[in-house]
Amino acid sequence: MDLSVSERLEIAKSAHTSPEVLARLAKDWESLGRVAVAVHPQTTPEVLTHLARDKDWQVRYAVAKIQTPFCNTYANLAITR
């Protein structure tokens, strides 16, 4: 993506962003964008599993704090990275 950090962050926060775009943004080098993807309601379980193992603690923390049917699994993954 040839967008600025602020543009990518805005897309990650948008309620209209598709799961496919969120999956691409989950690989962004900027951790704030990955945090926004982690808390987005359209983020798929597969992407959340990937983010739960992120190198940045803030991304893992965001995953651990979300409320989904799989929240305990994500929290455990984020903690045991």
- Residues 53 and 76: beta-carbon distance below 8 Å: no
Confidence of residue 55 (pLDDT cuts 50, 70, 90): very high
Q: What is the predicted pLDDT for the residue at 64?
A: 87
Percent of the chain scoring above 90 in pLDDT: 74
pTM for this structure?
Answer: 0.80
Average pLDDT over residues 5-21: 95
Average of per-residue pLDDT across 26-54: 94
Positions of E strands within the chain: none
Residue extents of the structural domains in the chain: 5-79
Q: Which residue has the tokens 């923390």?
A: 61
The pLDDT assigned to 66 comes to 81
